[in-house]
Structure 1
Amino acid sequence: MKHDLNRPVLEYGSGFPTLLYKEIKRFYKVAFQTIAAPVLTAVLYLMIFGHVLEGREVYGRLSYTAFLIPGLVMMSVLQNAFANTSSSLIQSKVTGNLVFVLLAPLSHFEFYSAYILAAVFRGIVVGLGVLLITMWFATPSLEYPLWVLVFAFLGAAILGSLGLIAGIWADKYDQLAAFQNFIIMPATMLSGVFYSIHSLPAAWQVVSHFNPFFYMIDGFRYGFFGISDNSPWSSLAIVFCFFIAVSAVALCLLQKGYKLRY
């Protein structure tokens, strides 16, 4: 079927906002599970670790509780951005309704953008919820808000892209769970959320620098306190390059229709 060139250009792009709205509404309809539950989990982490390590200082001037809050916020952003794209795609594949999205007049870039923006939105909403609740325990400063926003957006976009890749690769929920439990979870937990890497032995400090999640957490924390384990500019460059790499992989898989078109 040929497109009528006299039709408004915006009409051809109407599928993108529709898919974006669908992805946002999908997690919003179960907000108790997708937003409230992660916030509660982060608060429990803060209560347990904050109580056990109460009185300890980080960087020589920060209370451990204040240090922990940005890490928990960013961890929540990352994990929920990944969960949004991966769960949506695998659910569509398993139930068989992905075909209706693929039949729509959407380019692979529009498909990618809608899923990633919804993932970023969910991640930031959960992160804001964690920040607002945890501020009752300690109020972290906000030295450089722009750094916070940049790292939050890039981190959520990266994990959204990884979730898209995982959802494309997985054929069933067990495979997706393996991807999350053996790759995403360890990389997140060992990224400096709960500690400064300077407290680690020298060998483990070197290992930490090979974890891209470390740079997301460290750069995000820098926006709050103006101090970090690594240069924020170096962290930004690494995170941005990682974003380009995973985005390119996700777009390539979408363009080829890998495991999407049978």
Structure 2
Amino acid sequence: MTPTHFSQDLAPRRYGTVNWIGLYTLYRKEVRRFLTVGTQTVLAPMVTTLLFLAVFVLAMGHAVDLVGGVPYMEFLAPGLIMMAMTQNAFANTSSSLMIAKIQGNIVDLLMPPLSALEITMALALGGLTRGLVVGAATAAAIALFVPLHLAHVGAMLFYAVMASLMLAQLGIIAGIYAEKFDHMAAVTNFVITPLAFLSGTFYSTERLPDFGRLLAHLNPFFYMIDGFRYGLIGHADGSLWLGALALIGVNMALLIANYLSFQHGSRLRA
């Protein structure tokens, strides 16, 4: 082999504008990571959501028959599905980064020829996939007890994707800046869960006073649950267009924040 051929063999590999091979490999790794423990990552959230449904059926009885012109259980089901979907999207990305930092193998994420945007997209899509898988499994289980009509499939898919992507990206931020699992639990307990519970998951915001309704409509979680509910049962408390724009805007802001975090890398390389 001549020196010229030898130097050409050792030349850096060219991936083009986007390293699609690396992006897909990291995405596949994230998907396989949660599918390997499917009992914990898919089955457990499904069972937990069914327990929520059972508790509300037993607690409410026939005290509330109709909400927004539909049976209360049909009104409640989309919110429970969305909660399971988004919380697991958050858990996937945040735990992936936190475990990598604790085990000291975060370098395996940073050393490959992947840009900050490619890393962000691969991790976010992995969290999105887990959210959708959990959402589909939960919906299938709930459908055994509560009729799901799929009133507007396009709206349902749009809000499911946007909501899961939003929480997946929020999980990336939590995974980057958290120093231990307690910090991530704090985000879940003091940010995500309150916003989800106060977003109209279990009730119609139309029943709130004007000030309470205004606060609910400032909550991005309200729009993802409201839009997803519209996709399933055809009922919405707020503006669907405003909700779509709000979710797109929040996702874009989170994408930029995550890109800059990976580009800077101070919390990951320290």
TM-score by length of 1: 0.94
Q: CA deviation at 1:185?
A: 1.3
Q: Which residue matches 2:30?
A: 23
Pairing 1:195-206 to 2, within 5 Å after superposition: 195-206=203-214
For the residues of structure 1 that align with 2:78 and 2:163, how far apart are their CA atoms? 13
For the residues of structure 1 that align with 2:252 and 2:258, how far apart are their CA atoms? 10
For the residues of structure 1 that align with 2:186 and 2:69, how far apart are their CA atoms? 39
Pairing 1:58-77 to 2, within 5 Å after superposition: 58-77=66-85
Change (3 A) 1:22 1:60: closer
Q: Which residue matches 1:187?
A: 195
Contact 2:82 2:160 in 1 (8 A): yes
* SS in structure 2 at match of 1:260: helix
1:47 to 31, 54, 64: 54
Q: CA deviation at 1:60?
A: 4.5
Pairing 1:28-177 to 2, within 5 Å after superposition: 28-55=35-62, 56-177=64-185
Look up the equivalent residue of 1:35 and give its one-letter code: V
CA displacement, residues 32-76 of structure 1 (integer Å, 9 cap, x when unaligned): 111111000100001111232233234442111111111111111
Contact 1:54 1:65 in 2 (8 A): no
Q: CA deviation at 1:177?
A: 1.2
CA displacement, residues 65-111 of structure 1 (integer Å, 9 cap, x when unaligned): 11111111111111000000001000100110001111111111110
For the residues of structure 2 that align with 1:53 and 1:214, how far apart are their CA atoms? 22
Contact 1:86 1:167 in 2 (8 A): yes
Change (3 A) 1:18 1:187: same
Look up the equivalent residue of 1:92 and give its one-letter code: A
CA displacement, residues 167-223 of structure 1 (integer Å, 9 cap, x when unaligned): 001111111111111111111111111111112233221211121101110011111
The reply on whether 1:235 has 2:240 as its aligned counterpart is no
Q: Bigger CA drift: 20-29 or 4-13?
A: 4-13
For the residues of structure 2 that align with 1:140 and 1:61, how far apart are their CA atoms? 15
For the residues of structure 1 that align with 2:232 and 2:118, how far apart are their CA atoms? 33
Q: Where do 5+ consecutive residues of structure 2 fail to align?
A: 1-6
Change (3 A) 1:60 1:25: closer
- Aligned Cα root-mean-square deviation (Å): 2.0
Aligned residues: 262
Change (3 A) 1:9 1:151: same
- Seq. identity, %: 40
Contact 1:50 1:64 in 2 (8 A): no
Q: Bigger CA drift: 231-240 or 83-92?
A: 231-240
Contact 2:195 2:219 in 1 (8 A): yes
Q: Which residue matches 1:212?
A: 220
TM-score by length of 2: 0.91
Look up the equivalent residue of 2:225 and give its one-letter code: I
Contact 1:54 1:64 in 2 (8 A): no
* SS in structure 1 at match of 2:266: coil
* SS in structure 2 at match of 1:14: helix
